[in-house]
Amino acid sequence: MNEKINVCEEKMEKTLNALINEYQSIRAGRANPHVLDKIKVEYYGTPTPMQQVANISVPEPRILQIQPWDKSLIKEIEKAINMSDLGINPSNDGTVIRLIFPELTEARRKELAKDVKKKGDAAKVAVRNIRRDTMDAIKKMQKAGDISEDELKVGEDKVQKKTDTYVAKVDKEVEKKSKEILTV
């Protein structure tokens, strides 16, 4: 039973980490290299993560600078950025590509905050689904006679406490990211 509870906690931790990674790709008015994490560049016929083909730096708060290690990749990197859902037009001077992030409007900030909340709610649903699956597994163990009624109650308590903990962590991440987005 403890093994099932440990697996449950691992899954909840993965759900939280996935949410945090997702939040890193949401831009909050300032340049963040993580917005490029999901963008792949065609490199010798293979989709390759941007970080593996270029140096990404933040020379100013609202500018990302991408310097490819292979100059012939500039057009491919521009194409990948234009095809992504970033919504920013890259500009290049032949050696580096610059992404200039515009100030977010109030309406866009509120829209992003709503999106953050929606992603947080989805993470909480995932955590609760993990709880349900673990509870079902523990109940099956009890029906099969592997654990007693008391052990079942103890197990259910532990799973519920873990669920409450992770739901609170998700709420904290949602609040933190919303505050970051809404701060001008």
pLDDT tens sequence across 50-101: 889 999 998 988 888 999 998 888 988 998 888 887 778 888 888 899 988 8
Q: Which H helix or E strand runs over 80?
A: helix 74-83
Q: What is the pTM of this model?
A: 0.71
Q: Do the Cβ atoms of 25 and 34 come closer than 8 Å?
A: yes
- Domain shared by 53 and 77, yes or no: yes
Q: Is the pLDDT of residue 29 over 80?
A: no
The structural domain count of the chain equals 2
Domain hosting residue 158, numbered range: 2-24+105-182
Domain boundary pick from 83, 100, 117: 100
pLDDT tens digits, 59-71: 988 888 999 998 8
Tokens of 128: 């609760």
From 49, 73, 100, the end of a domain falls on: 100
Q: How many CB atoms lie within 10 A of CB 135?
A: 18
